Amino acid sequence: NAGVTQTPKFQVLKTGQSMTLQCAQDMNHEYMSWYRQDPGMGLRLIHYSVGAGITDQGEVPNGYNVSRSTTEDFPLRLLSAAPSQTSVYFCASSLGWREDNEQFFGPGTRLTVL
């Protein structure tokens, strides 16, 4: 199993550009989520999904869209990038939501918005 994969590893955008961060998992996990990690602030939940076709907002959803058309994939879209979105983005998955299952994290995408 590859676990949780994310692409790209690094990305530089200009303000106003759009892009999609890709996330995939091959563990048949129902729950997937996106976090951003900024220095001194820990991981903050952006959006999450409890299964295909179901998504919901986390703590910091503004400026981001998600969709979940399959169990495996959970892309994160930045509609119009802003410098405040410069961060490291992590995708995670687990067997279920609000269950005592460990989360498996991807390697992260380091995004810089100029």
Partner 1 sequence: SQKIEQNSEALNIQEGKTATLTCNYTNYSPAYLQWYRQDPGRGPVFLLLIRENEKEKRKERLKVTFDTTLKQSLFHITASQPADSATYLCALEGDMRFGAGTRLTVKP
Comparing CB distances to partner 1, the nearer of 17 and 75 is 75
With CB under 8 A as the contact rule, the residue among 26, 107, 112, 114 that binds partner 1 is: 107
Interacting span for partner 1 (CB under 8 A) from 14-22, 32-40, 61-69, 73-81: 32-40
Rounded Cα distance, 38 and 87, in Å? 6
- Please, what is the minimum distance in Å from the beta carbon of residue 80 to partner 1? 26
Encode burial over 48-59: b for 16+ CB neighbours within 10 A, e otherwise. bbbebeebeebe
Judged by CB, which is closer to partner 1: 36, or 68?
Answer: 36
Token digits of residue 68 = 């979940």
Q: Which two three-digit tokens encode residue 102? A: 């460990």
Give the footprint of partner 1 on residues 47-86 (CB under 8 A): 48, 58-59
Residue 86's SS3 state is coil
